[in-house]
Structure 1
């Protein structure tokens, strides 16, 4: 029996309530918004590129120095119900400095839409980048995906997508970095988060990455903040084992400390173990 099934409701909710465990989380969100706004003011980039008709179905593309360079797609977290791509604009700076395009995706949020819509939005965003690569000036054969928390779940969902069913190459995604991801959605269905996300048992099966593994080999990085709850560490260990058993080599970036949001910051910090691993993944293709 999975460990989480032994928790009472209060204990299970506490494992996934990351904001309650970070007293200054509102200050973190405010800092992300400020730094993102300042970075956008100082940057030339493609803003709100539409991949669908909804106002949320857009991404920002911060270009590399050169033409036809790789692209890192970043998917924000917020438990599928909050935050915005603009909060994470500043992460682009490190990748632009390394001649890598950086795309930050927005997608529709719960409770307005269901999990299938959210996953499909992110697939459509990546497909839009691929199919419009010439106009966007990117290398469509070098698309990588990274995300944290709900974004880590969505990153893993994209890595496990059958892209051939979308009339795209099976290896559309060349590499994935999932941080503090929710790879099994059953605990989400059982905890307080489901009031907004509204998962049912069929959706858990359809959209849990542990049930939908990559169809072709790709580079994979997993990481979790050292100070995060036991459930986040368990989810990563479980997913790593499943990926390894599936024949994939997975690089684990161990973080000796850091809460749920520190891990996001490290994506954009030059010299951090996490950003160094992501840059190495892209450069080693």
Structure 2
């Protein structure tokens, strides 16, 4: 065994301790619980006051799409697809209905995709399910009234990972030539670090999956333009992954951008994304709405 490999193995306990701190976000941010309770309440109020529906794309209970069309929309409108986070082992799309409100007000349809969770299913299966959901949406585009050539994929944390991963899959499998935009938020683009954390007790990512499912290791991407963002107050690991993947996309897909949002961390970045006056929202809306 080469000496540098032996040194790396000897340092694994120290590395694992450091990575645990980088990804123990609930421990780092005790304010997450009241924040997410506020998000859930805002989402419930928005669902009560809007026209939306729950659409089923596959048989498992969680495999549904919360569909929010723009009021009075006519013709084919842009579509924003959002995938919730939770390290593939937790989370609920219903907490994030409130994110749809400012977008539908601007004439954008929003689809929040649900999927099964680890350890009941593998992360590979989760990736397959969200791909099935997007393909189902494309097939139903005429009935739902959106333009399949103007789909923007987005998601937060594990959902950011999934949105980036979807954009690296051959687009013919979705029935589109490419995606209009891709906006991973606080995403995970290299999965190998997960293998050394307690997150993997439930996620159960194998070394083979860590390679196959890492967007940063893909050779081709099929988004017209990427906007890769995270809070500037994220951990070093999330900031570095965002910067690395954003730099990759700026080269692979000219016109792509990377942003670290000042004063925001992993859980409160949604405050800006749902604020119509925020530069974060305006950039997201520009990505979603601009002409193809």
Please state how far the C-alpha of 1:89 moved relative to its aligned partner: 0.5
**What is aligned with 2:122?**
114
- Distance in 2, matches of 1:73 and 1:185, equals 22
Q: 2:201 aligns to what?
A: 195
Give the aligned partner of residue 159 of structure 1: 167
Whole-Å separation in 1 of the counterparts to 2:30 and 2:105: 33
Q: Where does residue 278 of structure 1 map in the other structure? A: 284
Structure 2 counterpart SS, 1:59: strand
2:234 matched to 1:228? yes
* 1:158 to 1:270, Cα distance in 2 relative to 1, 3 A: same
Deviation track 1:122-169 (CA, whole Å, cap 9, x = no partner) reads 1111111110011111112211111110111011011111122x2623
TM-score when scaled to structure 2?
0.91
The aligned counterpart of 1:40 is 47
Measure, in 2, the Cα distance between the counterparts of 1:218 and 1:5: 39
- How far apart are 1:7 and its partner, in Å? 4.5
Q: Which residue of 1 aligns with 2:59?
A: 53
Which digits, 9 at most, give the CA deviation of each residue in 1:56-80, with x for residues without a partner?
1111110013131011011111111
In structure 1, C-alpha distance between the alignment counterparts of 2:16 and 2:147, rounded to whole Å: 47
Match of 1:105 among 110, 113, 121: 113
Residues 22, 69 of structure 1: CA spacing in aligned structure 2 closer, same or farther, 3 A cutoff?
A: same
Residue correspondences, number: 281
| Alignment partners' CA distance in 2, 1:5 and 1:224 | 27
Which residue is 1:28 aligned to? 35
Deviation at 1:214, TM superposition (A): 4.0
**2:272 aligned with 1:253:** no
Match of 1:269 among 267, 275, 280: 275
Question: Aligned partners of 2:45 and 2:250: how far apart in 1?
Answer: 41
Within the candidate set 9, 15, 18, 2:22 is matched to 15
Is residue 80 from structure 1 mapped to residue 88 from structure 2 by the alignment? yes
Could you tell me how far apart the structure 2 residues matched to 1:147 and 1:223 are?
11
Assess, with a 3 A threshold, how the Cα gap between structure 1 residues 170 and 205 changes in structure 2: closer, same or farther.
farther
2:188 to 182, 185, 191: 182
Determine which of 125, 134, 137 is the counterpart of 1:126.
134
Decide whether the 8 Å contact of 1:59 with 1:103 is kept in 2: yes
Cα 1:212–1:8, aligned 2, differ >3 Å: closer, same or farther? closer
Kept in 2, the 8 Å contact 1:160–1:214? The answer is: yes
CA distance in 2, matches of 1:178, 1:217: 12
Most deviating of 70-79 and 23-32: 23-32
Q: Report the CA distance between 1:212 and its aligned residue.
A: 2.1
Q: Residues of 2 paired with 1:134 and 1:247: CA distance?
A: 28
Unpaired segments of 5 or more residues in structure 1?
A: none
Residues 247 and 258, structure 2, Cα contact 8 Å, conserved in 1: no
